[in-house]
Chain A
Amino acid sequence: MSILLIVLFPLIGFLINGIRYIISTKKGTKISSQQSGMIATFAMVLSFLVSVYYYFQFNGQSNEVKLIDQNLFSWIKIGAFHLDFALRLDPLSLLFSLIITGVGSLIHLYSIGYMKEDASPAKYFSYLNLFCFMMLNLVLGSSMPHVFLGWEGVGLASYLLIGYWNLDVEKVMAGQKAFVMNRIGDLGFLIAMFVAYKYVGSLDLIEIQKSTMSPFVVTVFTGLVFFACTGKSAQIPLFTWLPDAMAGPTPVSALIHAATMVTSGVYLLNRISPLLIQAPQVLSVIAIVGVTTAFIAAIIACAQKDIKKILAYSTISQLGFMFLACGVGAFDAGVFHVMTHAFFKALMFLGAGSVIHALHEEQNIFKMGGLSKKLPITTITFVVGWAAILGIPPFSGFFSKDEIIIESLNSPYGNQVLFAMALLTALLTAFYMTRLLVLVFFSPSRMDKDVEEHVHESPLVMTFPLIVLAVLSLIGGFWHHSEGAHENSQMIMITSVAVAILSAGFSFYRYRKFDSEEQTNNFIENGLGINNFYNNFFGKGVTIVSKGLFRWIEAGIIQNGLKFCTWAVEFSGNVLKSFQVGSVQVYLMMMVLLGLSLMIWVLQGVMHGVLIYGK
């Protein structure tokens, strides 16, 4: 058994489906969703089984043993610097691998049903496998460049899958937006790597963790890494790409933009947690950014009408919670929330997918309603997800979310403001999630007649993953053993649950009989105008600057400078050419004259030199 197998199976799946797709397009045949989907799912299941094997290997071992290094080949060799291409498995990366391969397998399975009508499922599944391969490289990589490889790879896969339906310009633009926003964050990652190279001399993550850098360097390094994480994990200021990323197929949103890729920021912060502890300023920035993101995204979610957009903002909000956890030093709680969130958010996305599928691509929640009778399995599983995100005991979200709220007050880095904001966000979360649940499943139907007639429950291949995820959302919370609680933690727990239930009750009361479209605040619905601000300030600003640069520097200095150079060369060439008159007499004359002057010049130099050298 080898760790390599974990990353190898998705790669093989990617290659098989990719090659099959290329061949099929050449031949003009179509590969069915079942066929390619089974290959892709099988690859993921195998990878998952290997991860499970290592889970049992690690179980009950002491912490020192829980580290497996596997050196694949020597990657970079520059002078004294040497870097291996190596995989490394430890409890953190194992947990992420289990989430990626486990939830990934379920979503692959679900996709078989969801992508049944699609024109090129083989391409879709190859992209999905590619994503998993890259994501596993991200979490299993032993060095920063290796992580970066995965980091960019998942960005690529995300780009390809957001713009998967590439005949729709808007979707392609959404993919581009995601890519560009991520690139801004990547800058932080790259510079952090340069800093590590300069001040640590190694890019191996363990070496970096163990290193002793000056406080300033640590602050810079961790700050840069955090900036990179805001890109990938959709935090302020780089969060605007995630709602647009919902343009991709819904299983993609579930896998990439809820369960795995967007949590890679949390993974990375955990990886450098020993350094973060040494940089309290960065920690407090992380906490503030996290809680603010959580709060703002929750507000925006309240005004959304698109089912996937609500879930997207909810994801941003939950990611904010995870960052808050990291920011107050409760890294374990953050990772725990990654896991439970992966279960219930994937569940809700897939449930939303099931609804959208049943309603023929309808995503507006005000054109749904009363679906509980027609989609019983989807409804029940969705309710489980709803209960989990609200934090109702004993659902999984209760354990992870409340731990974060408790830590935001009790941890040495926590304070009342963070706590209050977190609680407020929990309140908002309960409100908008209940709004979603009630409007979609329980309120009177607002569907068009012809749509309503065709509503049907999804096939087993889609409902089975829903059921599994629902079970996980229900019991997932018991995998974590919280250590000794504070005396006030019970109080906080009761408060937060009460807040959530009250808020949910209000929301239920408000939306239970809704039969028309809600008039929402446009400003909030459009994401508090942040998108417009970015477009107007940065987008137009850059355009103005580059136009100026083009006009004055490029056209003015560089082009005219080049023109002058070519003119000068041509001019001197023409002058020299004019000596080439073709007459032997002139040639001889010039040779003699020039030769004579050279001779006189040399003789003068010799005489002068003789004087200096004193003969």
Chain B
Amino acid sequence: MFDLANLALLGPWLVLSLGIMATMLVSSIRIETRLPAKIVTIITLVLVMITSIGLFSEGTKTVLNGYIEISKLSCMTLFFMSGISLMFVVGSGGYLNKEKIHISDYYNLLLLMVFGASILVSAKDLFVMFIALEVMSLPAYALVGFRRNDSRSNEAAIKYFILGGALGAIFLMGTSFIFGASGSTQLAQIFEWSKGYNGDLLLFVVGHLLVLFAFLFKVAAAPFHFWKPDVYEGAPVSVTGLMATVITTAAFVVLVRLFHLVDFQSTTFAPYLESLKQLIRVVAVMSLVGGSTVLILQKNLKRMLAYSSINHTGYLLLGLLGTLSKPDQIYSIWFYLAGYSIITCGLFLMLSQSTTTNDQGLELVDLTGLMKKNPYFATVLSIFFLSMVGMPFTVGFFTKYTVFMSSISAGEVGFVVIAAICAVIGAYGYLRPIALMVMRDPDPSSASFVGTKFNQAMIIILAALCIILGIFPQALIQLTKGLELIP
């Protein structure tokens, strides 16, 4: 079981563990010394990216008694998540200094969170998933409360912790139900079981729904979204960004896995598929309508982006709806997650450039007249907002396009119409900051934005990606088409 070849297959996770231990060591020597921790984190993340790319050609394998899957999907997600984390690590040093929370522990917790997420996306067992979920969430709770002098931050951490804990318990309960019904917690075995199963569905369905609810909570689909605006607003900007990208990506990958938990080809589960589709439709429409209509009423940029992410969850669920009928459309979800993460990462790195401390100055009015005051900042910010709208020649256009096509190919035209209307409503919300930036004169009291060199470099890379992928999306689409979901 435990030979050297298997050890090599665990490369990314081993690297991450070593990195976590190293940062812990560094922070135990002197907590204020952050540079060594930062360097260690950067090296770790780069190594994770390299090793996960190395595993990409390995094909599909399971290790550790089938608990962990090494597949193109998990490797690519891991590569992508560590890449985004790297961007945040490199780009948010200035912000952390400004908020006076730049300590080694930040990097330690960050790596721990990535570690949890990395196990989560490759877990093939419900229990492993639960542990990974907690490993990912616990550092996230701490990171949300990292601005410990601000009551909003503390409040957000507590809220997130309580609700996350409750939903973790619900997940565990669902797992026990599924175990009771199928006799296993391993995904592959549950899938096998479902093929031949011929009995009562009640126990399994209850368990499955509980498990799904827990992850719908993590991706903040309505009606499990209540935590998100409050947490987004309270958390430090860089942490909010990490949550919106890394945690959302990991949670959604797992959500897709959980939706495909059983073989819907079998006659026993065919009626369940129809009900499940109904469920997704309701949740997607609630997320779309709720996200977009409340989005346009927000005055705080972070809250606005929270509702925006709820709205985007709705689009992702729309893509998921398509994949339940047309499994080959699953690439639309991966493509959407990648594009959305790039845009969001850029936006949050942008917001972290605000010169005001204590996360003030992130109200919508603070952008007034920015085009005259700081044309560079306003232009790049506009690119990201336009990507959010889904403007052609930005990556946002193709992300929306692929999920819409996925749903249409599954015959869900009515829901695509609803989604398109919500996209119009959302567009108002994203265009309003642009209008404020471009069409008003600057207000002397509004915040100004100064970025560090590293921060600006990361942002330029991301903005360029937004536009390049908006014009030549084919490479990324081809890549995501290779990412199959293995039951």
A591 an interface residue at 8 Å Cβ cutoff?
yes
Q: Which residues of A contact B376 (CB under 8 A)?
A: none
B439 an interface residue at 8 Å Cβ cutoff?
no
Name the distance in Å between A600's Cβ and chain B's nearest Cβ. 10
Least CB separation from A602: chain B residue:
B275
Name the distance in Å between A572's Cβ and chain B's nearest Cβ. 5
Please state if B278 and A605 are interface contacts (CB–CB under 8 Å): yes
Name the distance in Å between B353's Cβ and chain A's nearest Cβ. 28
In the assembly, what is the distance between CA of A584 and CA of B231, in Å? Answer: 11
Q: Which of B159, B272, B279, B282 sits near A609, CB closer than 8 Å? A: B272
Least CB separation from B200: chain A residue:
A610
Name the distance in Å between B205's Cβ and chain A's nearest Cβ. 6
Please state if A576 and B290 are interface contacts (CB–CB under 8 Å): yes
B364 an interface residue at 8 Å Cβ cutoff?
no
Q: In chain B between 291 and 322, which residues have their CB closer than 8 angstroms to a CB of chain A?
A: 293-297
Please state if A588 and B230 are interface contacts (CB–CB under 8 Å): no
Q: Which residues of B contact A572 (CB under 8 A)?
A: 289, 293
In the assembly, what is the distance between CA of A595 and CA of B167, in Å? Answer: 11
A509 an interface residue at 8 Å Cβ cutoff?
no
A77 an interface residue at 8 Å Cβ cutoff?
no
In the assembly, what is the distance between CA of A126 and CA of B297, in Å? Answer: 56
Q: Which of A584, A588, A598 sits near B279, CB closer than 8 Å? A: A598
Q: Which of B267, B275, B294, B296 sits near A606, CB closer than 8 Å? A: B275
In the assembly, what is the distance between CA of A329 and CA of B167, in Å? Answer: 90
Please state if B270 and A576 are interface contacts (CB–CB under 8 Å): no
Q: In chain B between 154 and 182, which residues have their CB closer than 8 angstroms to a CB of chain A?
A: 158-159, 162-163, 166-167
Please state if B229 and A580 are interface contacts (CB–CB under 8 Å): yes
At the interface with chain A, which of B70-78, B219-227, B399-407?
A: B219-227
Question: Which residue, of A573, A574, A590, A599, has the highest number of chain B Cβ atoms within 10 A?
Answer: A573
In the assembly, what is the distance between CA of A138 and CA of B294, in Å? Answer: 58
Please state if B227 and A606 are interface contacts (CB–CB under 8 Å): no
B25 an interface residue at 8 Å Cβ cutoff?
no
| Contact A613-B267, Cβ < 8 Å, known A580-B229, A584-B162 | yes
Q: Which of A573, A594, A602 sits near B278, CB closer than 8 Å? A: A602
The main secondary structure of chain A at its interface with chain B is helix
Least CB separation from B429: chain A residue:
A573
Q: Which residues of A contact B279 (CB under 8 A)?
A: 598, 601-602
Q: Which residues of A contact B475 (CB under 8 A)?
A: none
Q: In chain B between 409 and 442, which residues have their CB closer than 8 angstroms to a CB of chain A?
A: 425
- Number of B residues near A (Cβ < 8 Å) is 40
Q: Which of B159, B167, B270 sits near A584, CB closer than 8 Å? A: B159
Q: Which residues of B contact A603 (CB under 8 A)?
A: 202, 205-206, 275
Please state if B230 and A576 are interface contacts (CB–CB under 8 Å): no
B213 an interface residue at 8 Å Cβ cutoff?
yes
In the assembly, what is the distance between CA of A572 and CA of B282, in Å? Answer: 17
| Contact A606-B271, Cβ < 8 Å, known A588-B162, A595-B224 | yes
A562-589 interface mask toward B, CB cutoff 8 Å, 1 = contact, 0 = none? 0000000110111011011010100110
Q: Which residues of A contact B477 (CB under 8 A)?
A: none
Please state if A574 and B297 are interface contacts (CB–CB under 8 Å): yes
Please state if B272 and A588 are interface contacts (CB–CB under 8 Å): no
In the assembly, what is the distance between CA of A7 and CA of B344, in Å? Answer: 56
B217 an interface residue at 8 Å Cβ cutoff?
yes
A481 an interface residue at 8 Å Cβ cutoff?
no
A612 an interface residue at 8 Å Cβ cutoff?
yes
Please state if B274 and A570 are interface contacts (CB–CB under 8 Å): no
Q: Which residues of A contact B295 (CB under 8 A)?
A: 573
Name the distance in Å between A574's Cβ and chain B's nearest Cβ. 7
Name the distance in Å between B163's Cβ and chain A's nearest Cβ. 6
Least CB separation from A604: chain B residue:
B275
Please state if A591 and B275 are interface contacts (CB–CB under 8 Å): no
Q: Which residues of B contact A606 (CB under 8 A)?
A: 201-202, 205, 271-272, 275
B90 an interface residue at 8 Å Cβ cutoff?
no
Q: Which residues of A contact B229 (CB under 8 A)?
A: 580
Name the distance in Å between B156's Cβ and chain A's nearest Cβ. 11
In the assembly, what is the distance between CA of A101 and CA of B378, in Å? Answer: 55
A454 an interface residue at 8 Å Cβ cutoff?
no
Q: Which residues of A contact B293 (CB under 8 A)?
A: 569-570, 572-573, 576
Least CB separation from A586: chain B residue:
B226
Q: Which of A574, A588, A601, A605 sits near B163, CB closer than 8 Å? A: A588
Q: Which of B167, B223, B272, B289 sits near A594, CB closer than 8 Å? A: B223
| Contact A609-B275, Cβ < 8 Å, known A576-B293, A603-B202, A603-B205 | yes
Q: Which residues of A contact B159 (CB under 8 A)?
A: 584, 587
Name the distance in Å between B432's Cβ and chain A's nearest Cβ. 13
Please state if B213 and A595 are interface contacts (CB–CB under 8 Å): yes
A615 an interface residue at 8 Å Cβ cutoff?
yes
B356 an interface residue at 8 Å Cβ cutoff?
no
Q: Which of A574, A587, A602, A612 sits near B227, CB closer than 8 Å? A: A587
Q: Which residues of A contact B290 (CB under 8 A)?
A: 576
Q: Which residues of A contact B201 (CB under 8 A)?
A: 606, 610
B268 an interface residue at 8 Å Cβ cutoff?
yes
Please state if B213 and A570 are interface contacts (CB–CB under 8 Å): no
B209 an interface residue at 8 Å Cβ cutoff?
yes
B53 an interface residue at 8 Å Cβ cutoff?
no
B408 an interface residue at 8 Å Cβ cutoff?
no
Q: List 15 A-B contacts (CB under 8 A).
A: A569-B425, A570-B296, A580-B229, A580-B230, A584-B162, A588-B163, A590-B226, A591-B226, A594-B224, A602-B209, A602-B276, A605-B274, A606-B202, A609-B270, A610-B201
- Residues of B in contact with A (beta carbons under 8 Å apart): 158-159, 162-163, 166-167, 201-202, 205-206, 209-210, 213, 217, 223-224, 226-227, 229-230, 267-268, 270-272, 274-276, 278-279, 282-283, 289-290, 293-297, 425
- Residues of A in contact with B (beta carbons under 8 Å apart): 569-570, 572-574, 576-577, 579-580, 582, 584, 587-588, 590-591, 594-595, 598-599, 601-603, 605-606, 608-610, 612-613, 615
Q: With A569-B293, A598-B283 given, can you name 5 additional A-B contacts, CB distance below 8 Å?
A: A573-B297, A576-B293, A577-B297, A588-B163, A603-B206
